[in-house]
Amino acid sequence: MNTQQTLEQMQELKLKGMAECYETQLSMPVDQQLEGHELIAQLLAAEKLQRGNDRMDYLLKNARLRFDATPESIICKPERNLSKTTWNLLQEGRYLQDASPVLITGPTGTGKSWLACALGYQACMMGVRTKYYSMHRLIESILMAKTEGSYVKLLNHMEKIPLLILDDFGLQNLNKQTKLALLQIIEDRYAKKSIIITAQLPVAEWHEYLSEPAIGDALCDRLTAKSIRIELKGPSMRRTK
């Protein structure tokens, strides 16, 4: 079998990383090309790297993050009430292992959604399946699932997601049906999988916002237990930009 046939077989088998590496080797002078075990090792390493990159691209695409925020883009300043130590600890992903909720609050424009998306990006880079929902979209999904008879399927799907991001909690009124659905989503994740929630409302006002004592007690109890809280401060970063 000649080298061209070998290359074509790699491409047919969708060994993209291996094929590109092999093609690079073939383009080099013969005396500089790797042989035997060294060549095999390099081809395998290239394929592993390619598959890792493809996996991260897939996770990012399916996460549907609102912003293309990266950990490097996060500004840590005392006036924002966000220290580098806190941010570095979050990037390590221990909260994912501990299934700890991350509650990000602060006035409009302080970068809550950007911060949440940066954490989502980092989770994808770590190989953790992530899903972003604005509360508006989540409510729409719940109502549509109720109408179509796929509500249980939606809940089961969300339960399997290792990291769930709910953005802009507290901006709109929730009917009892939606509150119960939200409670079920939180209940399914409690002590099992992580959730990130952003809100303009301080955590202390969430119970009043829910306006259903029993639901508020249950939801807040599960969210605040072992939670990591970030209370962003300062002027709107949009106006600053």
pLDDT, tens digit (0-9, with 9 covering 90-100), for 33-85: 888 898 889 889 888 888 888 888 999 999 999 999 999 999 999 999 999 99
Supply the range of the domain harboring residue 118.
71-240
Structure letter (DSSP) for residue 96: H
- Together in a domain, 121 and 204: yes
- Together in a domain, 121 and 231: yes
Q: What is the pLDDT of residue 148?
A: 94
CA distances in angstroms from 160 to 46, 143, 156, 203, listed in the order given: 31, 20, 7, 26
User: Which amino acid makes up residue 134?
Assistant: S
Better-predicted residue by pLDDT, 12 or 63 = 63
Range with the poorest average pLDDT among 3-7, 89-93, 192-196: 3-7
Whole-structure pTM value: 0.85
CA distances in angstroms from 127 to 104, 109, 223, 224, listed in the order given: 23, 29, 24, 26
- Mean of the per-residue pLDDT values of the chain: 92
d(CA 46, CA 23) in angstroms, rounded, equals 12
The closest of 202, 210, 218, 213 to 81, measured between CA atoms, is: 202
- Say which residue the tokens 């549509």 belong to: 144
How many independent structural domains does the chain possess? 2
Which band of pLDDT confidence, cut at 50, 70 and 90, is reported for residue 160? very high
For the chain, the C-alpha Rg in angstroms (whole number) is: 23
- Together in a domain, 77 and 22: no
Beta-bridged to residue 104, according to DSSP, are 198, 230
Which band of pLDDT confidence, cut at 50, 70 and 90, is reported for residue 1? low
- Together in a domain, 207 and 230: yes
| Residue-wise pLDDT tens digits, 176-206 | 999 999 999 999 999 999 999 999 999 999 9
Q: CB under 8 Å to 52, separation ≥6 — which residues?
A: none
- Together in a domain, 199 and 95: yes
Residue 239 has pLDDT above 80, yes or no: no
- Together in a domain, 122 and 83: yes
User: Which amino acid makes up residue 23?
Assistant: E
- Together in a domain, 87 and 23: no
User: Which amino acid makes up residue 5?
Assistant: Q
- Together in a domain, 184 and 234: yes
- Together in a domain, 173 and 193: yes
DSSP 17-67: HHHHHHHHHHHS-GGGS--HHHHHHHHHHHHHHHHHHHHHHHHHHHHT-SS
Residue 93 has pLDDT above 70, yes or no: yes
Residue 123: which CATH number? 3.40.50.300
Q: Which of 47, 63, 79 is the last residue of a domain?
A: 63
CA–chain centroid gap for 135, Å, is 16
Contact of 93 with 128, CB cutoff 8 Å: yes
CA distances in angstroms from 192 to 62, 96, 101, listed in the order given: 21, 9, 10
Residue 238 has pLDDT above 70, yes or no: no
